[in-house]
Amino acid sequence: MAGFLLAISFVGLLNLLPLRKALVIDYKLTYPSGTATAVLINGFHTPQGEKNAKMQVRGFVRSFVISLLWSFFQWFYTGGQSCGFLQFPTFGLKAWKQTFFFDFSLTYVGAGMICSHLVNLSTLFGAVLSWGIMWPLISKQKGIWYPANVPESSMTSLFGYKSFMCVALIMGDGLYHFIKLTGITAKSLHAQSNRKHVKRAANEDTVSFDDLQRNEVFTTFDDSKLASVCRICLIKHHCYNCHTDNVPYGKIALFIFAAWGGKDDGVIAGLVGCAIVKQLVQVSADLMHDYKTGHLTLTSPRSLLVGQAIGTVMGCIIAPSTFLLFYKAFDIGNPDGYWKAPYALIYRNMAILGVEGFSALPKRCLELSAACFAFSVLVNLLRDFSTQKYRKYVPLPMAMAVPFLVGANFAVDMCVGSLVVFSWHKMKRKEATLLVPAVASGFICGDGIWMFPSSLLSLAKVNPPICMKFTPGS
C-alpha cells in the first residue's frame, strides 16, 4: 500500500512542476487557500500578529486538553454494544432509533465550528429529508420493494436505497461543477489566447517592487515551461474550486475503469483508477497552493518542494500504518457501527453501478436516485442564478448527501458547532473571529489523538469497565 501511494504521489508532485512560474507569476492565478495561508503567515510577523498568535496557541492548547480528557472520560462508559455518551438519546429513544441524537463528539463539533453555517444547516436538512422522512417511508415497503429476509447491510435492502440515493446527490453535484468549471476554463483559455503579447520590459514599470521581489525569489531555479493544454485545464480547475474538484475527476475515472474491467475485475479496477486520479490531482493541487503561499511569503520554491516531498513520504508511511491499526482495533465499515467509513461504501457502490449498471439497484431505486440527481442539479442552478441575498439560503447537495449514510447525529453535532460559533460571535465578536479556528482545531486534534491510545487498549484486550446504556422504561 505504501509503495502504491509513493508512486502516484510523487508523480503528482512532479506533474505540474514545469508550470510553476507560468501559473503563479504569468497567469496570476488566485489559489484561494494558498493566498489565505500566506496572508495568515505574513500577519504573524507583526506586533499585533504575534500577540494574536499567542492567544490562538493558548486557545488551541486549552481546547486540545479539554477534548483529550473528555474522550478519555467517555471511554470508561463504552464497555459494550451501543454504550456510552456516543449513544445518548438526547431527543428521546424514538429519535435515537432514527439517529437523531447528540453523541458528544468534539471532532464533529469542531468541524461544525470551522464549516460555514450553510454547510452545517445543509447537513441537517439532508438528515431530516433522509432519516426523518424518506427512510421511514421506504422501510414501510419492506417485503414489497425489497426482500424482507435480507440483512440490513445488503445492497438489495434499505441500505441500497441509502447508498445509491446518496451517490446520486453527489454525482449530480460533481457533474454540475465539472461542466461549470470546464466552461470557465475554456472561457479563460480563450481570453488568454486572444490577449496580445506584451514584452516583459514594458510591464516592469507597472509591477510593484514587492511583486518584482517575489518573482525574483520564486524564479531562483529554472524549469521547463512546456506542458500540455490538459495540464493547464487541470490546474485552472484547482485554482477556481480549491481542493474539491478532484471528486468529479475521480468519479469519471471510476466509471470508465469499472465499465472497462467488466464483471470479474471491474469493481477493483474502478476503485484503483479512481484512487490514482484523485491522488494525482490532490497532490498536484496541494503543491500549487503551497507555491502560491511561497510566492506571497518570499519562500524558496526549492524549500517548498523538498518539504512537500518529505511530508509526502511521511504520509505514505503513516497513513497505511494508521489505517491498519484502526482496522485491527475497530469495526471499520460496519453500517451500524461508529466507524461507518461512508465514503468507502459510496465509492464501492459507484463501482458496482459502473459494472452492473442499473440492474444493481433495488425496485424503485432508479427513479428515486434520478430524482435526487435532478434535485442536486436544480439546486446548484438555483444557487448560481440567485441573487446574493437569497443564495446563502440555498442548501449544498454535497453536504446534504453525507448524512444519508452517516446518520443524523453527524448533522446534529455539526449544528451544535454552528450554535457555539453563533453564540460566541454574538457575545464577543472580535475574540470569536480570532479564536474559533484555533479552538475548533484543538477539539478535533484532542479527540483524534485519543484514538491512538484507545486503539492500543483495544488491541491489548483492555475493555472499558462500565456500559452506560438507555432502554425504554417499564
Query: 474 lies in a domain?
Result: no
DSSP, collapsed to helix, strand or coil, labels residue 467 as strand
Q: DSSP states of 58-84 as a string?
A: HHHHHHHHHHHHHHHHHHTTB-STT-S
pLDDT for residue 170: 86
pLDDT for residue 61: 92
> Helix, strand, coil shares of the chain as percentages rounded to 5?
75, 0, 25
pTM of structure:
0.74
Selection from 19-33, 261-275, 289-303, 415-429 with the highest mean pLDDT: 415-429
Sequence letter at residue 428: K
List all residues 6 or more positions away from 99 whose beta carbon is below 8 Å from its beta carbon. Answer: 127, 131, 407, 408, 409
pLDDT at 165 over 80: yes
The answer to whether the CB of 435 falls within 8 A of the CB of 427 is no
pLDDT for residue 192: 65
pLDDT-wise least confident of 30-34, 117-121, 344-348: 30-34
Q: Distance between CA 175 and CA 171 in Å, rounded?
A: 6
pLDDT at 214 over 70: no
Query: 29 lies in a domain?
Result: yes
pLDDT for residue 380: 92
The residue ranking higher by pLDDT, 427 or 302, is 427
Range 5-25 average pLDDT:
77
Q: Distance between CA 412 and CA 418 in Å, rounded?
A: 10
Query: 321 lies in a domain?
Result: yes
pLDDT for residue 189: 67
> What is the domain extent for residue 140?
1-192+209-460
pLDDT for residue 223: 43
Q: What tens digit of pLDDT does each residue of 309-319 get?
A: 898 899 889 88
Query: 469 lies in a domain?
Result: no
Element (H, E) at 243: none
Q: What tens digit of pLDDT does each residue of 21-34 get?
A: 777 776 666 676 67
The answer to whether the CB of 121 falls within 8 A of the CB of 415 is yes
**What is the percent of the chain where pLDDT is above 70?**
84
Q: DSSP states of 142-198 as a string?
A: BTTTB-SSS-TTSTTSHHHHHHHHHHHHHHHHHHHHHHHHHHHHHHHHHHHHHSPP-
DSSP, collapsed to helix, strand or coil, labels residue 199 as coil
Range 302-312 average pLDDT:
86
**Cell numbers found for residue 38:** 500566506
Q: Other CB atoms closer than 10 Å to residue 357's CB: what's the count?
A: 10
pLDDT at 279 over 90: no
pLDDT at 375 over 50: yes
Query: 473 lies in a domain?
Result: no
Q: How many domains does the chain have?
A: 1
The answer to whether the CB of 2 falls within 8 A of the CB of 301 is no
The residue ranking higher by pLDDT, 44 or 456, is 456
Q: How far is CA 450 from its chain centroid? A: 21
pLDDT-wise least confident of 119-133, 228-242, 255-269, 277-291: 228-242
**Cell numbers found for residue 439:** 479552538
Query: 230 lies in a domain?
Result: yes
pLDDT for residue 238: 40
Q: Distance between CA 211 and CA 229 in Å, rounded?
A: 27
Mean predicted lDDT score pLDDT of the chain: 81
Query: 329 lies in a domain?
Result: yes
Range 88-111 average pLDDT:
90
pLDDT for residue 187: 79
pLDDT at 427 over 60: yes
Range 389-401 average pLDDT:
89
The answer to whether the CB of 413 falls within 8 A of the CB of 405 is no
Q: What tens digit of pLDDT does each residue of 220-250 get?
A: 544 433 333 333 333 333 433 334 444 567 7
The residue ranking higher by pLDDT, 342 or 373, is 373
Q: DSSP states of 403-435 as a string?
A: HHHH-HHHHHHHHHHHHHHHHHHHH-HHHHHHH
Sequence letter at residue 280: L
- pLDDT band at residue 357 under the 50/70/90 scheme: confident
Longest dimension (CA), the chain: 86
Q: What tens digit of pLDDT does each residue of 59-82 get?
A: 999 999 999 999 999 999 988 777
Query: 347 lies in a domain?
Result: yes
